[in-house]
């Protein structure tokens, strides 16, 4: 008997990778439609948290909004995915500790295979580690959410009971989702206007400059859809009082 054996392992790996990439693109597309039509801040942030948790393969995902108080730092739990809110009701909000601080300061992505082995873990009172009753977390990833004006709005945090589950690909996907915070900042502005807490940096601003910046921000998306943007400006050298970021 003569037989031929084909090793299809590589083909299966490629097919699985393509399937996951297709699922990720579908989720991102659905998320884009949702947040472009939604003006509710909580629903938008929850949608970003849910999508990021799903695409990263995390068992637990959360978004903490960066709220600074007079004492130096207090962080409010904003959204949660993978566990009921009640599961965290009796835990204090995370602080700018050695582990969480880089995210709340916007210093970059933190991705750890086993958080318990990280030298930054377990250094702060009163728990010196994970509080009793906390959802088990071994694999850890955190991505800062930064507005277009450079303000750190907060962070997306992900956990998994197994180690080494988060990869560079997961990091790239979640970082892309975190960029949706341009929209989050706009919705925060709406809520601040309603509550009378909007802070504006009013100063002389040149229309040519913030108009050019707005066009530059739109160009990549326009070119991808075959749309040509033409600008006609004849304002001369003039300035208006306003917040350049919000005017853009």
**Domain count of the chain?**
2
In a domain, 188, yes or no: yes
Quick one: 205 and 183 in the same domain? no
Residue 189 CA, distance from chain mean position: 18
Quick one: 222 and 243 in the same domain? yes
- Which domain range does residue 71 map to? 11-194
pLDDT in tens, the chain (248 residues): 666 666 667 777 666 666 666 666 666 666 655 555 555 667 777 888 888 888 888 999 998 876 655 455 555 667 888 888 777 777 767 777 888 888 988 888 999 999 989 888 877 777 777 777 778 889 999 999 887 667 788 889 999 999 999 998 888 888 877 776 576 666 666 666 666 666 778 899 888 888 888 888 778 777 777 888 888 887 677 888 998 887 88
- State whether the Cα torsion 138-45-227-225 is positive or negative: positive
What CATH number is associated with residue 139? 3.30.450.40
Quick one: 136 and 215 in the same domain? no
In a domain, 6, yes or no: no
Quick one: 120 and 233 in the same domain? no
CA distance 144 to 102: 8
CA distance 152 to 98: 17
CA distance 180 to 50: 13
């Amino acid at each position: 008997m003569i037989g031929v054996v084909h090793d299809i392992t590589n083909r299966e790996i490629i097919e699985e990778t393509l399937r996951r990439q297709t699922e990720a693109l579908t989720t991102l597309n659905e998320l884009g439609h949702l947040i472009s039509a939604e003006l509710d801040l909580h629903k938008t942030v929850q949608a970003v948290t849910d999508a990021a948790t799903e695409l990263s393969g995390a068992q637990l995902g959360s978004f903490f909004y960066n709220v600074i108080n007079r004492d130096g730092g207090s962080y409010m739990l904003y959204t949660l995915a993978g566990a009921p809110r009640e599961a965290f009701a009796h835990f204090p909000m995370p602080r700018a500790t050695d582990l969480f601080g880089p995210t709340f300061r916007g210093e970059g992505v933190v991705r750890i295979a086993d958080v318990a082995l990280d030298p930054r873990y377990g250094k702060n009172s009163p728990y010196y580690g994970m509080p009793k009753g906390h959802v088990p977390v071994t694999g850890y990833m955190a991505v800062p959410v930064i507005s277009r004006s450079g303000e750190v709005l907060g962070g997306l945090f992900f956990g998994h009971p197994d180690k080494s589950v988060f990869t560079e690909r997961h990091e790239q996907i979640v970082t892309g989702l975190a960029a949706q915070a341009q929209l989050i900042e706009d919705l925060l502005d709406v809520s601040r206007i309603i509550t009378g807490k909007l802070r504006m940096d009013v100063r002389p601003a040149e229309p040519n400059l913030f108009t050019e910046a707005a066009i530059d921000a739109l160009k990549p998306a326009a070119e991808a859809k075959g749309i040509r943007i033409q600008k006609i400006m004849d304002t001369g050298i003039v300035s208006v009082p306003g917040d350049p970021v919000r005017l853009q």
